[in-house]
Amino acid sequence: MLTLTELKALLATPQRIVITTHHKPDGDAMGSSLGLYGYLIQKGHHVKVITPTDYPTFLHWMPNNADVIIFTEAQEQAAKLVDEASIIFCLDFNTLSRINELGELVRAAKATKVMIDHHLEPEDFDDYRHWDINACAAAQLVYDFIVNQLQDVDGINKDVASCLYTGIMTDSGSFRFPSATSEVYRIAADLIDLGAEHWKIHQLVYDNASENRIRFLGYCLSNKLEVIREYNTAIISVTKEELAKYQSATGDTEGVVNYALSINGIKLAALIIERTDKIKLSVRSTGDFPANEICKKYFNGGGHRNAAGGAAEKPLAEVVAEFKSILEEYKEQLLAS
Protein backbone atom coordinates (compact mmCIF):
# COMPACT_ATOMS: atom_id res chain seq x y z
CA MET A 1 0.00 0.00 0.00
CA LEU A 2 1.07 3.54 -0.76
CA THR A 3 1.84 5.81 2.20
CA LEU A 4 0.28 9.26 2.60
CA THR A 5 3.73 10.80 2.12
CA GLU A 6 4.13 8.97 -1.18
CA LEU A 7 0.64 10.01 -2.35
CA LYS A 8 1.29 13.64 -1.42
CA ALA A 9 4.54 13.53 -3.37
CA LEU A 10 2.67 12.15 -6.38
CA LEU A 11 0.06 14.91 -6.14
CA ALA A 12 2.76 17.58 -5.87
CA THR A 13 3.15 17.58 -9.67
CA PRO A 14 0.40 17.65 -12.34
CA GLN A 15 -1.14 14.23 -12.92
CA ARG A 16 -3.70 12.70 -15.27
CA ILE A 17 -6.48 11.81 -12.85
CA VAL A 18 -9.77 9.95 -13.20
CA ILE A 19 -12.43 10.09 -10.49
CA THR A 20 -15.17 7.49 -10.57
CA THR A 21 -18.04 6.45 -8.36
CA HIS A 22 -20.74 3.81 -8.13
CA HIS A 23 -23.54 2.73 -10.48
CA LYS A 24 -26.52 5.12 -10.51
CA PRO A 25 -24.73 7.77 -8.45
CA ASP A 26 -26.60 9.51 -5.65
CA GLY A 27 -25.96 12.84 -3.94
CA ASP A 28 -22.96 11.59 -2.00
CA ALA A 29 -21.40 9.90 -5.01
CA MET A 30 -21.66 13.01 -7.17
CA GLY A 31 -20.98 15.44 -4.33
CA SER A 32 -17.77 13.71 -3.31
CA SER A 33 -16.66 13.23 -6.94
CA LEU A 34 -17.29 16.79 -8.10
CA GLY A 35 -15.98 18.16 -4.81
CA LEU A 36 -12.67 16.34 -5.25
CA TYR A 37 -12.65 17.32 -8.94
CA GLY A 38 -13.03 20.99 -8.04
CA TYR A 39 -10.15 20.72 -5.60
CA LEU A 40 -7.75 18.88 -7.91
CA ILE A 41 -8.23 21.15 -10.93
CA GLN A 42 -7.11 24.07 -8.77
CA LYS A 43 -3.82 22.24 -8.29
CA GLY A 44 -3.15 22.00 -12.00
CA HIS A 45 -4.07 18.35 -12.49
CA HIS A 46 -5.84 17.10 -15.63
CA VAL A 47 -9.00 15.58 -14.12
CA LYS A 48 -12.05 13.77 -15.46
CA VAL A 49 -15.05 12.41 -13.56
CA ILE A 50 -16.43 9.22 -15.12
CA THR A 51 -19.70 7.76 -13.84
CA PRO A 52 -20.70 4.18 -14.78
CA THR A 53 -24.26 5.31 -15.61
CA ASP A 54 -26.46 8.37 -15.66
CA TYR A 55 -27.72 9.97 -12.46
CA PRO A 56 -30.69 12.08 -11.28
CA THR A 57 -31.31 15.42 -12.98
CA PHE A 58 -31.76 17.06 -9.57
CA LEU A 59 -27.99 16.69 -9.16
CA HIS A 60 -27.10 18.30 -12.48
CA TRP A 61 -26.89 21.79 -10.95
CA MET A 62 -23.63 20.99 -9.17
CA PRO A 63 -20.50 22.90 -10.20
CA ASN A 64 -18.55 21.22 -13.04
CA ASN A 65 -21.38 18.76 -13.74
CA ALA A 66 -21.08 19.59 -17.46
CA ASP A 67 -17.61 18.02 -17.48
CA VAL A 68 -18.80 14.59 -16.26
CA ILE A 69 -18.39 11.68 -18.67
CA ILE A 70 -21.03 8.95 -18.50
CA PHE A 71 -19.42 5.62 -19.35
CA THR A 72 -22.47 4.09 -21.04
CA GLU A 73 -22.62 7.09 -23.39
CA ALA A 74 -18.90 7.43 -24.16
CA GLN A 75 -17.23 4.08 -23.60
CA GLU A 76 -14.23 4.55 -25.89
CA GLN A 77 -13.39 7.97 -24.47
CA ALA A 78 -13.78 6.72 -20.90
CA ALA A 79 -11.65 3.63 -21.53
CA LYS A 80 -8.87 5.78 -23.01
CA LEU A 81 -8.93 8.13 -20.01
CA VAL A 82 -8.75 5.22 -17.55
CA ASP A 83 -5.90 3.62 -19.47
CA GLU A 84 -3.90 6.87 -19.58
CA ALA A 85 -4.56 7.91 -15.96
CA SER A 86 -1.73 8.07 -13.46
CA ILE A 87 -4.14 8.19 -10.50
CA ILE A 88 -7.70 6.85 -10.23
CA PHE A 89 -9.81 7.97 -7.27
CA CYS A 90 -12.60 5.52 -6.39
CA LEU A 91 -15.23 7.31 -4.30
CA ASP A 92 -18.23 6.00 -2.35
CA PHE A 93 -17.69 2.35 -3.32
CA ASN A 94 -15.18 -0.31 -2.38
CA THR A 95 -15.90 -3.21 -4.74
CA LEU A 96 -15.21 -2.92 -8.47
CA SER A 97 -18.43 -4.73 -9.35
CA ARG A 98 -20.23 -1.56 -8.17
CA ILE A 99 -19.03 0.27 -11.29
CA ASN A 100 -20.16 -2.41 -13.76
CA GLU A 101 -18.06 -2.81 -16.93
CA LEU A 102 -15.91 0.11 -15.86
CA GLY A 103 -14.65 -2.01 -12.98
CA GLU A 104 -12.48 -4.31 -15.07
CA LEU A 105 -10.96 -1.34 -16.88
CA VAL A 106 -10.03 0.18 -13.52
CA ARG A 107 -8.68 -3.15 -12.28
CA ALA A 108 -6.44 -3.49 -15.35
CA ALA A 109 -5.24 0.12 -15.28
CA LYS A 110 -1.63 0.80 -14.31
CA ALA A 111 -2.68 3.91 -12.37
CA THR A 112 -2.30 4.36 -8.64
CA LYS A 113 -5.75 3.60 -7.21
CA VAL A 114 -7.04 5.62 -4.26
CA MET A 115 -10.19 4.49 -2.41
CA ILE A 116 -12.18 6.97 -0.33
CA ASP A 117 -15.19 5.17 1.10
CA HIS A 118 -17.35 4.38 4.14
CA HIS A 119 -18.91 1.00 3.28
CA LEU A 120 -18.23 -2.37 4.87
CA GLU A 121 -15.87 -5.05 3.55
CA PRO A 122 -13.69 -3.31 0.96
CA GLU A 123 -12.24 -5.30 -1.90
CA ASP A 124 -8.45 -5.28 -2.01
CA PHE A 125 -7.87 -3.48 -5.33
CA ASP A 126 -6.53 -0.13 -4.11
CA ASP A 127 -3.06 1.28 -3.48
CA TYR A 128 -4.12 3.91 -0.92
CA ARG A 129 -7.20 3.76 1.28
CA HIS A 130 -8.99 6.47 3.24
CA TRP A 131 -11.78 4.37 4.70
CA ASP A 132 -14.02 4.78 7.73
CA ILE A 133 -17.33 2.95 8.18
CA ASN A 134 -18.33 5.45 10.86
CA ALA A 135 -18.25 8.37 8.43
CA CYS A 136 -21.72 9.52 7.39
CA ALA A 137 -20.68 10.09 3.77
CA ALA A 138 -17.84 9.73 1.31
CA ALA A 139 -17.99 13.52 1.04
CA GLN A 140 -17.08 13.74 4.72
CA LEU A 141 -14.00 11.64 4.01
CA VAL A 142 -13.07 13.77 0.98
CA TYR A 143 -13.25 16.82 3.26
CA ASP A 144 -11.04 15.03 5.78
CA PHE A 145 -8.65 13.98 3.01
CA ILE A 146 -8.23 17.57 1.81
CA VAL A 147 -8.20 19.32 5.20
CA ASN A 148 -6.43 16.85 7.47
CA GLN A 149 -4.40 14.57 5.23
CA LEU A 150 -3.35 17.05 2.55
CA GLN A 151 -3.61 19.93 5.06
CA ASP A 152 -5.05 22.28 2.47
CA VAL A 153 -8.25 23.85 3.78
CA ASP A 154 -7.57 26.83 1.50
CA GLY A 155 -8.22 24.48 -1.43
CA ILE A 156 -11.91 24.29 -0.53
CA ASN A 157 -13.54 27.09 -2.47
CA LYS A 158 -17.28 27.74 -2.82
CA ASP A 159 -17.73 25.15 -5.58
CA VAL A 160 -15.94 22.42 -3.64
CA ALA A 161 -17.79 23.32 -0.44
CA SER A 162 -21.16 23.18 -2.22
CA CYS A 163 -20.47 19.72 -3.62
CA LEU A 164 -19.17 18.26 -0.36
CA TYR A 165 -22.10 19.76 1.58
CA THR A 166 -24.48 18.09 -0.88
CA GLY A 167 -22.86 14.70 -0.30
CA ILE A 168 -23.00 15.01 3.47
CA MET A 169 -26.56 16.37 3.50
CA THR A 170 -27.98 13.61 1.31
CA ASP A 171 -26.18 10.64 2.88
CA SER A 172 -27.01 11.80 6.40
CA GLY A 173 -30.71 12.09 5.54
CA SER A 174 -30.56 15.87 5.94
CA PHE A 175 -28.59 15.37 9.17
CA ARG A 176 -31.21 13.17 10.81
CA PHE A 177 -29.43 9.78 10.73
CA PRO A 178 -27.34 8.57 13.71
CA SER A 179 -24.23 9.01 11.56
CA ALA A 180 -24.76 12.80 11.70
CA THR A 181 -22.50 13.29 14.71
CA SER A 182 -21.40 16.58 16.22
CA GLU A 183 -18.26 16.30 14.08
CA VAL A 184 -20.43 16.12 10.96
CA TYR A 185 -22.27 19.26 12.03
CA ARG A 186 -18.96 21.04 12.57
CA ILE A 187 -17.82 20.04 9.07
CA ALA A 188 -21.13 21.25 7.64
CA ALA A 189 -20.66 24.57 9.42
CA ASP A 190 -17.14 24.86 7.99
CA LEU A 191 -18.49 24.20 4.50
CA ILE A 192 -21.15 26.89 4.97
CA ASP A 193 -18.43 29.30 6.09
CA LEU A 194 -16.48 28.35 2.95
CA GLY A 195 -19.39 29.25 0.67
CA ALA A 196 -21.95 26.43 0.62
CA GLU A 197 -25.44 27.96 0.51
CA HIS A 198 -27.15 25.27 2.60
CA TRP A 199 -30.71 26.51 2.05
CA LYS A 200 -30.26 26.70 -1.71
CA ILE A 201 -28.63 23.27 -1.93
CA HIS A 202 -31.51 21.70 0.02
CA GLN A 203 -34.01 23.34 -2.31
CA LEU A 204 -32.18 22.20 -5.47
CA VAL A 205 -31.99 18.60 -4.28
CA TYR A 206 -35.28 18.07 -2.45
CA ASP A 207 -37.67 20.63 -3.96
CA ASN A 208 -36.84 20.03 -7.61
CA ALA A 209 -39.03 17.09 -8.64
CA SER A 210 -40.77 16.55 -11.94
CA GLU A 211 -44.57 16.26 -12.01
CA ASN A 212 -44.21 12.59 -13.01
CA ARG A 213 -42.04 11.89 -9.99
CA ILE A 214 -44.62 13.36 -7.60
CA ARG A 215 -47.47 11.45 -9.25
CA PHE A 216 -45.41 8.25 -9.11
CA LEU A 217 -44.79 8.78 -5.39
CA GLY A 218 -48.50 9.32 -4.80
CA TYR A 219 -49.31 6.13 -6.71
CA CYS A 220 -46.81 4.12 -4.68
CA LEU A 221 -48.17 5.35 -1.37
CA SER A 222 -51.84 4.96 -2.24
CA ASN A 223 -51.72 1.75 -4.28
CA LYS A 224 -48.50 -0.15 -3.64
CA LEU A 225 -47.78 0.28 0.06
CA GLU A 226 -48.24 -2.89 2.12
CA VAL A 227 -47.95 -2.61 5.89
CA ILE A 228 -47.28 -5.86 7.77
CA ARG A 229 -47.93 -4.97 11.41
CA GLU A 230 -47.16 -8.51 12.54
CA TYR A 231 -43.50 -7.75 11.78
CA ASN A 232 -43.46 -3.92 11.98
CA THR A 233 -42.52 -3.94 8.30
CA ALA A 234 -43.69 -2.03 5.24
CA ILE A 235 -43.10 -2.99 1.61
CA ILE A 236 -43.60 -1.16 -1.67
CA SER A 237 -43.21 -3.22 -4.84
CA VAL A 238 -43.23 -1.73 -8.33
CA THR A 239 -43.39 -3.41 -11.74
CA LYS A 240 -41.53 -2.20 -14.81
CA GLU A 241 -44.90 -1.45 -16.41
CA GLU A 242 -45.73 0.90 -13.55
CA LEU A 243 -42.36 2.61 -13.95
CA ALA A 244 -43.12 3.10 -17.64
CA LYS A 245 -46.60 4.43 -16.93
CA TYR A 246 -45.13 7.29 -14.92
CA GLN A 247 -42.16 7.74 -17.27
CA SER A 248 -39.87 7.08 -14.34
CA ALA A 249 -36.42 8.59 -14.84
CA THR A 250 -33.18 7.94 -13.00
CA GLY A 251 -33.60 9.17 -9.43
CA ASP A 252 -37.40 9.12 -9.40
CA THR A 253 -37.51 6.15 -7.03
CA GLU A 254 -34.91 7.63 -4.68
CA GLY A 255 -36.29 8.24 -1.21
CA VAL A 256 -39.60 6.44 -1.78
CA VAL A 257 -38.66 3.72 0.71
CA ASN A 258 -38.20 6.35 3.43
CA TYR A 259 -41.91 7.17 3.32
CA ALA A 260 -42.70 3.56 4.21
CA LEU A 261 -40.17 3.67 7.05
CA SER A 262 -41.71 6.89 8.40
CA ILE A 263 -44.95 5.12 9.37
CA ASN A 264 -45.44 4.97 13.12
CA GLY A 265 -44.10 1.71 14.54
CA ILE A 266 -42.36 0.52 11.37
CA LYS A 267 -38.81 -0.76 11.92
CA LEU A 268 -38.08 -2.21 8.48
CA ALA A 269 -39.07 -0.99 5.02
CA ALA A 270 -38.28 -2.23 1.53
CA LEU A 271 -38.77 -0.83 -1.95
CA ILE A 272 -38.66 -3.72 -4.42
CA ILE A 273 -38.51 -2.67 -8.06
CA GLU A 274 -38.65 -4.68 -11.26
CA ARG A 275 -35.94 -3.32 -13.54
CA THR A 276 -35.21 -4.48 -17.09
CA ASP A 277 -32.50 -6.96 -16.13
CA LYS A 278 -33.18 -7.81 -12.47
CA ILE A 279 -35.13 -6.99 -9.32
CA LYS A 280 -33.58 -4.24 -7.19
CA LEU A 281 -34.16 -3.83 -3.47
CA SER A 282 -33.67 -0.75 -1.30
CA VAL A 283 -33.98 -1.65 2.37
CA ARG A 284 -34.12 0.76 5.31
CA SER A 285 -34.40 0.18 9.05
CA THR A 286 -34.44 2.01 12.35
CA GLY A 287 -32.35 1.53 15.48
CA ASP A 288 -30.11 -1.52 15.59
CA PHE A 289 -32.01 -3.59 13.06
CA PRO A 290 -29.54 -4.89 10.42
CA ALA A 291 -30.96 -4.05 7.00
CA ASN A 292 -27.53 -4.80 5.55
CA GLU A 293 -27.57 -8.34 6.96
CA ILE A 294 -30.78 -9.18 5.10
CA CYS A 295 -29.40 -7.78 1.84
CA LYS A 296 -26.09 -9.58 2.16
CA LYS A 297 -27.52 -12.90 3.29
CA TYR A 298 -30.43 -13.18 0.87
CA PHE A 299 -30.12 -10.65 -1.95
CA ASN A 300 -26.47 -10.47 -3.07
CA GLY A 301 -26.06 -7.01 -1.58
CA GLY A 302 -25.07 -5.12 1.52
CA GLY A 303 -24.54 -1.60 2.75
CA HIS A 304 -24.97 0.16 6.07
CA ARG A 305 -26.90 -1.16 9.06
CA ASN A 306 -29.88 1.12 8.43
CA ALA A 307 -29.57 1.61 4.66
CA ALA A 308 -28.74 -1.24 2.31
CA GLY A 309 -29.51 -2.65 -1.11
CA GLY A 310 -29.62 -5.88 -3.02
CA ALA A 311 -30.71 -7.58 -6.21
CA ALA A 312 -32.32 -10.78 -7.42
CA GLU A 313 -32.96 -12.42 -10.78
CA LYS A 314 -36.27 -14.05 -9.91
CA PRO A 315 -39.69 -12.70 -10.89
CA LEU A 316 -40.91 -9.76 -8.82
CA ALA A 317 -43.67 -11.72 -7.07
CA GLU A 318 -41.18 -14.39 -5.96
CA VAL A 319 -38.77 -11.79 -4.57
CA VAL A 320 -41.56 -10.10 -2.61
CA ALA A 321 -42.68 -13.48 -1.25
CA GLU A 322 -39.10 -14.36 -0.30
CA PHE A 323 -38.65 -11.05 1.50
CA LYS A 324 -41.83 -11.66 3.49
CA SER A 325 -40.75 -15.20 4.37
CA ILE A 326 -37.51 -13.86 5.86
CA LEU A 327 -39.37 -11.68 8.36
CA GLU A 328 -40.20 -14.59 10.69
CA GLU A 329 -36.46 -15.12 11.25
CA TYR A 330 -36.16 -11.55 12.51
CA LYS A 331 -39.52 -11.31 14.30
CA GLU A 332 -38.05 -10.90 17.79
CA GLN A 333 -35.84 -8.00 16.68
CA LEU A 334 -38.63 -6.39 14.67
CA LEU A 335 -41.04 -6.46 17.58
CA ALA A 336 -38.55 -5.40 20.25
CA SER A 337 -39.25 -1.97 21.71
Give the CATH number for residue 50: 3.90.1640.10
Q: How many domains does one find in the chain?
A: 2
On whether both 70 and 133 belong to a single domain, the answer is yes
Q: Which pLDDT value is given to residue 94? A: 95
Q: Are 233 and 266 in contact (CB under 8 A)?
A: yes
On whether both 128 and 242 belong to a single domain, the answer is no
Q: Is residue 290 classed as helix, strand or coil in its secondary structure?
A: coil
Q: Which pLDDT value is given to residue 285? A: 96
On whether both 132 and 254 belong to a single domain, the answer is no
Which residues, other chains included, contact 176 with Cβ-Cβ below 8 Å and sequence gap of 6+?
Answer: none
Domain end residue (candidates: 207, 231, 250): 207
- Structural domain of residue 264, as residue ranges? 211-335
On whether both 181 and 272 belong to a single domain, the answer is no
Query: For 288, phi and psi rounded to 5 degrees?
Result: -95, 5
Q: Which pLDDT value is given to residue 209? A: 92
**CA-atom Rg of the chain in angstroms:** 20
Q: Where are the alpha helices (DSSP H) in 97-232?
A: 102-108, 138-144, 158-171, 182-193, 198-206, 211-219
Q: Other CB atoms closer than 10 Å to residue 44's CB: what's the count?
A: 10
Q: Which pLDDT value is given to residue 229? A: 98
Rounded-to-integer distance, Cα 225 and Cα 217, Å? 11
**What torsion, rounded to 10 degrees, do the Cα atoms 283, 287, 290, 292 define?**
40
Q: Which pLDDT value is given to residue 337? A: 76
Domain end residue (candidates: 191, 207, 223): 207
Q: Which pLDDT value is given to residue 8? A: 97
On whether both 134 and 45 belong to a single domain, the answer is yes
Q: What is the pTM of this model?
A: 0.92
Q: Are 98 and 23 in contact (CB under 8 A)?
A: yes
Q: Is residue 190 classed as helix, strand or coil in its secondary structure?
A: helix
Q: Where are the alpha helices (DSSP H) in 233-311?
A: 240-245, 256-261, 291-298
On whether both 173 and 250 belong to a single domain, the answer is no
Q: Which pLDDT value is given to residue 111? A: 98
CATH of the domain at 242: 3.10.310.30
% of the chain residues with pLDDT over 90:
97
The C-alpha angle with vertex 72 and arms to 17 and 257, in degrees rounded to 5, equals 100
On whether both 162 and 259 belong to a single domain, the answer is no
On whether both 134 and 252 belong to a single domain, the answer is no
Rounded-to-integer distance, Cα 245 and Cα 255, Å? 19
On whether both 304 and 270 belong to a single domain, the answer is yes
Which residues of the chain are modeled with pLDDT < 70? none
Model pLDDT for residues 189-247, shown as the tens digit of each residue:
999 999 999 999 999 999 999 999 999 999 999 999 999 999 999 999 999 999 999 99
